[in-house]
Amino acid sequence: MQFREKQQILIIVTAGVMVTGFVLFRYFPLRKKMKTVEKTRAAQALVINNGMAKNEQLPSLREEFEKLQIEVSNYERQIPDDRELGTFLHKIADLMNSHNLKGQFI
């Protein structure tokens, strides 16, 4: 072999070692880190989308909650005190009789 051929082989081997070193020590770790970041980003996007969907439902849930609070307060106002409990039970019995409901255990 001539000196030039040895130099060319040495240059090719050196370039191969450099490319291999770059791929092993720089490209693969960065690629692995990039995949991890992409997975984290996808998970965060999913959480954000779920939050946005729940945020859109919040006004309707608040409205329903306020309606139920009003309805519950109306029922609580209709329940009599201890002294008027007998009249209340008689009203219930009369309503049940007027609608032909059986099985009155009051």
pLDDT of residue 41: 97
pLDDT of residue 87: 79
How far apart are alpha carbons 76 and 70 in whole angstroms? 10
pLDDT digits (tens, 9 = 90+) for 41-90: 999 999 999 999 888 888 899 999 999 888 887 776 766 666 777 777 78
C-beta separation of 105 from 88 below 8 A? no
How far apart are alpha carbons 105 and 100 in whole angstroms? 14
C-beta separation of 90 from 83 below 8 A? no
Domain locations in the chain as residue ranges: 3-98
pLDDT of residue 82: 66
pLDDT mean across residues, the chain: 86
Q: Say which residues have a Cβ less than 8 Å from residue 87's Cβ, sequence separation at least 6.
A: 80
Judged against a pLDDT cut of 60, whether residue 106 lies above it is answered with no
Q: pTM of whole model > 0.95?
A: no
pLDDT of residue 54: 87
